[in-house]
Chains A and B, each alone.
Chain A
Amino acid sequence: MSGSQEGQHDHPESGEELSIYARRAQAIEALLVEKNVCTPAEVQGMMDVVESRSPADGAKVVAHAWADPEFKARLLAEPRSALAEMGYSLPDTTPRLAVVENTAQVHHMVVCTLCSCYPRTLLGRPPDWYKSFSYRSRAVVDPRGIMREFGLELDESVEVRVLDSTADLRYLVVPRQPAGTEHLPETELAKLISRDSMIGVCNARTPQTVPAG
């Protein structure tokens, strides 16, 4: 049956060679389908979810959490149902999304030392640096050094909590809301919330540091 599946994937007709990784992924997918582990529609469905999401979605959710403390409490306690309120339907499978909050006393930073686990169902694909050996090995040993490279110098009185997502949970960080932004509408707040601040390697922007455009 695997032979009959050749050619079902779209790839360039130019004769361009697929990378060994692309060919390996195709071979594995064909086997999974053949063994009834999953259907091509399920694979496509998950790809569609991840490809449709970007840090803008995370920023929208965090902005809403900043603006509405009750929503924030629900988001921290039951992320999946809280996100459903905003129209985000997360797959009812593992990995499961978990949300943590940064405060004046506690700062979370997320890494996956084993591979590249990331809250893809809300933020889309992780940045390349997140997957690098350098980040993965240094984040657990020297988180404050990493944050310094992202422009954040945390006071010694702040407790740094590194989350290593080794298993079935994927962590989203709600960064601290910058002081003096309480009056802003959610669409303006969302501009302050960078992808990196939702990984926890830096803080949200202030209105003064939002890039133009």
Chain B
Amino acid sequence: MAQSNKYRPGDQVRVRVDSPSGHYRTPTYIQGKTGLVVASCGRFRNPESLAHGGSGLPEQPLYRVEFTQRSVWDRYQGPSGDKILVDIYEHWLDPVAFRR
């Protein structure tokens, strides 16, 4: 049962673009954006299943993913170092580059 996480801190990922019917917790504004995994936050039951009476199993690894604000918003006003961090479940992430 103890499958290992697909990503580790330092890996580059892209958020999937999707709008499944029902409940999901990946905000639209971050979909399609490329970010950096900065932390593994544990495994949790999948809210997309839980919200509709399902078991939420198998549990999904959850990651804290960091995006530079300027890569998310074309017209971000602040300095280039500003970031936005979003907690995203593994099945919403595609690999871009694994940390070597």
Contact = CB atoms under 8 A, between A and B. Distances in A.
Contacts of B72: 140
Contacts of B88: 166-167
B57 interface: no
A115 to B, nearest CB: 9
Contact of A162 (B41, B44, B81, B85): B85
B48 to A, nearest CB: 11
Contacts of B41: 96, 98, 167-169
A208 to B, nearest CB: 28
A166 B84 contact: no
A163 B30 CA distance: 13
A203 interface: no
Nearest to A156: B79
Nearest to A164: B86
Contacts of A157: 79
A157 B81 CA distance: 8
A163 B85 contact: yes
Contacts of A162: 69, 82-85
27 contacts: A113-B27, A114-B27, A140-B84, A141-B76, A143-B82, A144-B78, A145-B77, A156-B79, A157-B79, A160-B69, A160-B78, A160-B83, A161-B83, A161-B84, A161-B85, A162-B82, A162-B85, A164-B85, A164-B86, A166-B25, A166-B86, A166-B88, A167-B47, A167-B62, A168-B44, A169-B64, A169-B87
